[in-house]
């Protein structure tokens, strides 16, 4: 059974006229940006997790003991 069976009548439902193309042109980049944000957060978390405790603690220690 092919996957195209489920999308057989999709052309009848989603007609690409000028308005539909304009909406798709706005919605597609927005959807990609929404999908990319959690991926960027995951990459940031993985990168910071590999830095180590001493490197991460340094700026915190310096900021809390500033002026002493």
The answer on pLDDT for 13 being more than 90 is no
Q: How confident is the model at residue 31 (pLDDT cuts 50, 70, 90)?
A: very high
For residues 50 and 32, what is the distance between their CA atoms, to the nearest angstrom? 27
The widest CA-to-CA distance across the chain, in whole angstroms, is 73
b vs e for 30-40, b when ≥16 Cβ sit within 10 Å of the residue's Cβ? eeeeeeeeeee
CA distances from 50 to 40, 43, 46, 47 (A): 16, 11, 6, 5
Question: How many structural domains is the chain composed of?
Answer: 1
Q: Can you give the residue range of the structural domain that contains 47?
A: 3-64
CA 42 to chain centre: 9
pTM above 0.75, yes or no: no
């Amino acid at each position: 059974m092919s996957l195209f069976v489920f999308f057989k009548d999709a052309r009848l439902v989603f007609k690409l006229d000028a308005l539909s193309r304009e909406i798709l042109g706005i919605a597609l980049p927005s959807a990609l940006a929404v999908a990319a944000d959690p991926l960027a957060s995951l990459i940031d978390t993985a990168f910071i997790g590999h830095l180590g405790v001493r490197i991460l603690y340094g700026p915190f220690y310096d900021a809390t003991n500033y002026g002493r």
